C-alpha cells in the first residue's frame, strides 16, 4: 500500500507515517497542499491520498478539487462539520475524524479494496 | 430544621410559601409603585395606616407601609394578616377590642392600639394568598361597599405589579441563560477542537509503543513528541482553569521571582519545535525579570502559538527579548501573517474574541492578558513593519537584591 499524506503538523505526519509503515505501507508525507498536488501529479502508484483540511495555503478540500482523482481521497480533520462533509461528498471524497489512526488505516483498506 | 409553625396556617402552606418565593419580593427595597397604592388606600378610606404585607414562614414583611414609620416586619403569629390570608374575601374588623378574633391580640392591646382593620388578600392566579393590602385605624369604624371595591381594585393592581416584575426578571434570566449557553457552547467546541490534534497524536504514539524493532532514535523522537503534546494539553487545561478563576471575579495566583528570560523563551520555543521554524534571539547579559516562571511561559506559548498559526510557511516567527524603559524588559513575538484588522485591535484581549476563521475558544489572549496583569506586566500589540503583527510583553526587572 502506498499512501500520500499531507498535514501541516509534524507530530501528526510522524505518528501517522510510523503507524502505516509498521503495517508495511509506504508513506510519502508532505506538509502542505501545494506539495501534495505536485506529488500526486508527478508520482504514479498511490493507492490512497490522505489530506488534512486545515493547512496554510490550499486546504484539503481545495487540493481534492484540483486533483484528477483516480484513487480514494480522504479528508482527515479535527474540524469536520456539515459544510465540509457536503463538499467532500460532492467531490466524491471521504472524510474521517482525527482521533484514531487505526480507524484511518481501516478506512483506507476498505476503500482500496472496493476499487480493486 | 423545620420548626413548628406558630399561629394559624393555611392549607397547602408549602405551596403558598413557594409562590411567595417565586415573586422574589421579600426584603426588596421600597418601590414607588407600591408606596403609591398604599397611600391611595389610606387616603381614599380616610385612615392613617395602610400596608402591603407579604406573609412569610414566620413573619409578616411590609413591602409598603404608610403611617407606620420604620416598621419593616412583625412576627407572624400576632399579625392579623396571617388570619386574613386564610380566606378569599376581605377580612373586616370594625372594632378589634370587642371582636373575639382579635381582642387579645398584642397589636390591639398594646402600643399600636389597633381598632379597625380591613384586609384584601393578594391572590395569585393559581389561588395562593401571598399577603394583603390592608387599612388600619386606631378608632373603631365601619367600611363601605365603595371602599371595599376600591381596596379590591388596588389589591389587583398590586398583584399586576408583582406579576410584571416577575415577568421582567424571567425575561432577563432567560436572556442571560441563552447568552451563557451560547458562550459555553463556543468554548466547549473551541477547546475540544484544540485538544483533538494533541490527543490524536498521543493516540497514534500508543499504537507504536513498545516497538522493539524501532531504533533508539525513533523512540527518543516519539518521547519528545509525546512530551510536547502532553505539554500542549496541559496548557489548555490550565488556561481553562484560569478562565474559570477569572469568571469568579478573581485573579489567577502568581508567584513572581527573579527569572532569566532566556530559560523561559528557550522552553517556549522548544515546546513548538514540531511546528514551523521559530527564531529566538536573547542578548547576553540581559538582567533577570521579576515574573512567575510558569505563567510567563504560558503567555509566551500562547503568543508563539498564534504567531505560528497565522504565519505563512516560508516566514519564520521571530521571538526576542530586549531591555525596556524604566526598569522593564520586553519580550516580543512577531509574525509575518496577514496582520490584525485595525478594528479588531481594541477587542483582541477580550473574552471570546476570535479571528473570523478561527475555531479556537477565544480564551487564549484573554487569559494571557489577565496573567500579565496579575504579574504587573503589560501586553501590547502593533502591526509589524512589513506585514503581520508584533506582540510585546513588558515585564518588570528584578532589582539587584532580587526583590521588588
Q: What is the pLDDT of residues B209-237, one digit of tens each?
A: 656 666 778 888 888 888 888 888 888 88
Q: What is the pTM of this model?
A: 0.59
Q: How far is CA B345 from CA A31, B213, B310, in A?
A: 31, 53, 16
Residue position matching grid coordinates 488556561? B239
Q: Looking at A98-102, B46-50, B332-336, which range is the least confident one?
A: A98-102
User: Span B361-376, mean pLDDT?
Assistant: 90
Q: How far is CA B388 from the centre of its chain?
A: 36
Contacts of residue A99 in chain B, CB cutoff 8 Å? 196, 199-200, 203
Q: Is pLDDT at B5 greater than 50 in this prediction?
A: no
* A115 phi/psi in degrees, rounded to 5: -65, -45
Q: Looking at A4-13, A50-59, B239-248, B372-381, which range is the least confident one?
A: B239-248
Rounded (10°) CA dihedral B381, B383, B389, B395: -30
User: Span A4-11, mean pLDDT?
Assistant: 90
Neighbouring CB atoms inside 10 A of B68's CB total 17
Count of alpha carbons within 13 Å of A20, Cβ hemisphere only?
27
Q: Is pLDDT at B3 greater than 60 in this prediction?
A: no
A96 touches A75 (CB < 8 A) = yes
How does residue B255 score in pLDDT terms, banded at 50, 70 and 90? Answer: very high
How does residue B402 score in pLDDT terms, banded at 50, 70 and 90? Answer: very low
Cβ of A99 within 8 Å of Cβ of B211? The answer is: no
Distance from C-alpha of B289 to C-alpha of B297, rounded to nearest angstrom: 13
- Per residue in B141-194, pLDDT tens? 999 999 999 999 999 999 999 999 999 999 998 998 888 887 777 777 777 777
Furthest CA-CA distance within chain B: 106
B137 touches B48 (CB < 8 A) = yes
Whether the CB of A7 is below 8 Å from some CB of chain B: the reply is: no
User: Span B260-271, mean pLDDT?
Assistant: 94
User: Span B71-96, mean pLDDT?
Assistant: 90
Q: How far is CA B195 from the centre of its chain?
A: 26
Whether the CB of B232 is below 8 Å from some CB of chain A: the reply is: no
Higher pLDDT, B219 or A33: A33
Total residue length of chain A: 116
Instruction: Number of A to B CB contacts under 8 A, please give it.
Output: 69
| pLDDT for B211 | 65
Rounded (10°) CA dihedral B204, B209, B211, B216: 100
User: Span A69-98, mean pLDDT?
Assistant: 88
How does residue B360 score in pLDDT terms, banded at 50, 70 and 90? Answer: low
- Per residue in B309-329, pLDDT tens? 888 777 889 999 999 998 999
Please state, for a pLDDT cut of 90, what percent of chain B lies above it: 53
Contacts of residue A8 in chain B, CB cutoff 8 Å? 313
Say whether A15 sits in a helix, a strand or coil. Answer: helix
Q: Is pLDDT at B208 greater than 80 in this prediction?
A: no
With CA atoms as reference, the chain A residue closest to B338 would be A56
Q: Is pLDDT at B249 greater than 90 in this prediction?
A: no
Please state, for a pLDDT cut of 70, what percent of chain B lies above it: 94
How does residue B358 score in pLDDT terms, banded at 50, 70 and 90? Answer: low
Comparing CA positions, the residue from B106, B31, B111 lying closest to residue B65 is B31
Comparing CA positions, the residue from B368, B373, B353 lying closest to residue B302 is B368
Mean pLDDT of chain B: 88
Amino acid at each position: 500500500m502506498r499512501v500520500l499524506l499531507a498535514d501541516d503538523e509534524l507530530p501528526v505526519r510522524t505518528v501517522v507515517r510510523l503507524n502505516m509503515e509498521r503495517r508495511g505501507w509506504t508513506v510519502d508525507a508532505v506538509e502542505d497542499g501545494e506539495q501534495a498536488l505536485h506529488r500526486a501529479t508527478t508520482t504514479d502508484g498511490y493507492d490512497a491520498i490522505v489530506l488534512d483540511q486545515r493547512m496554510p495555503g490550499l486546504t484539503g478540500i481545495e487540493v481534492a478539487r484540483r486533483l484528477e482523482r483516480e484513487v480514494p481521497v480522504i479528508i482527515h480533520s479535527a474540524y469536520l462539520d456539515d459544510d465540509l462533509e457536503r463538499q467532500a461528498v460532492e467531490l466524491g471524497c471521504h472524510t474521517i475524524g482525527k482521533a484514531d489512526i487505526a480507524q484511518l488505516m481501516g478506512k483506507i483498506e476498505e476503500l482500496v479494496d472496493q476499487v480493486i | 430544621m423545620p420548626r413548628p409553625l406558630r399561629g394559624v396556617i393555611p392549607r397547602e402552606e408549602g405551596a403558598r410559601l413557594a409562590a411567595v418565593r417565586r415573586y422574589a419580593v421579600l426584603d426588596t427595597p421600597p418601590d414607588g409603585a407600591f408606596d403609591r397604592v398604599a397611600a391611595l388606600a389610606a387616603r381614599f378610606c380616610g385612615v392613617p395606616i395602610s400596608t402591603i404585607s407579604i406573609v412569610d414562614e414566620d413573619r409578616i414583611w411590609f413591602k409598603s407601609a404608610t403611617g407606620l414609620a420604620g416598621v419593616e416586619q412583625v412576627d407572624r403569629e400576632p399579625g392579623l394578616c396571617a388570619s386574613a390570608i386564610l380566606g378569599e374575601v376581605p377580612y373586616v374588623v370594625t372594632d378589634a377590642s370587642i371582636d373575639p378574633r382579635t381582642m387579645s391580640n398584642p397589636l390591639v392591646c398594646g402600643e399600636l392600639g389597633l381598632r379597625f382593620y380591613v384586609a384584601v388578600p393578594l391572590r395569585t392566579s393559581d389561588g395562593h394568598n401571598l399577603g394583603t393590602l390592608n387599612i388600619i385605624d386606631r378608632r373603631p369604624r365601619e367600611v363601605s361597599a365603595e371602599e371595599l371595591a376600591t381596596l379590591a381594585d388596588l389589591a389587583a393592581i398590586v398583584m399586576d405589579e408583582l406579576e410584571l416584575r416577575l415577568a421582567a426578571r424571567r425575561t432577563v434570566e432567560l436572556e442571560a441563560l441563552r447568552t451563557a449557553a451560547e458562550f459555553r457552547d463556543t468554548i466547549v467546541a473551541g477547546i475540544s477542537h484544540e485538544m483533538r490534534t494533541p490527543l490524536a497524536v498521543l493516540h497514534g504514539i500508543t499504537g507504536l509503543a513498545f516497538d522493539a524493532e524501532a531504533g533508539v532514535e525513533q523512540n527518543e523522537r516519539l518521547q519528545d513528541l509525546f512530551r510536547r503534546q502532553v505539554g500542549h494539553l496541559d496548557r489548555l487545561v490550565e488556561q481553562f482553569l484560569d478562565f474559570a478563576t477569572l469568571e469568579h471575579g478573581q485573579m489567577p495566583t502568581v508567584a513572581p521571582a527573579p527569572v532569566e528570560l532566556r530559560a523561559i523563551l528557550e522552553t517556549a520555543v522548544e515546546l513548538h519545535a514540531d511546528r514551523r521554524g521559530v527564531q529566538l534571539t536573547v542578548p547576553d547579559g540581559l538582567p533577570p525579570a521579576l515574573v512567575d516562571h510558569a505563567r510567563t511561559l504560558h503567555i509566551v506559548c500562547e503568543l508563539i502559538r498564534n504567531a505560528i498559526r497565522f504565519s505563512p510557511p516560508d516566514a519564520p516567527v521571530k521571538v526576542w527579548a530586549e531591555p525596556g524603559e524604566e526598569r522593564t524588559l520586553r519580550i516580543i513575538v512577531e509574525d509575518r501573517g496577514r496582520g490584525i484588522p485595525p478594528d479588531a485591535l481594541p477587542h483582541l484581549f477580550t473574552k471570546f474574541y476570535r479571528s473570523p476563521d478561527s475555531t479556537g475558544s477565544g480564551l487564549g489572549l484573554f487569559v494571557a492578558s489577565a496573567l500579565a496583569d496579575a504579574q504587573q506586566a503589560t501586553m501590547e500589540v502593533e502591526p509589524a513593519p512589513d506585514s503581520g503583527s508584533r506582540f510585546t510583553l513588558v515585564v518588570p526587572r528584578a532589582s539587584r537584591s532580587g526583590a521588588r
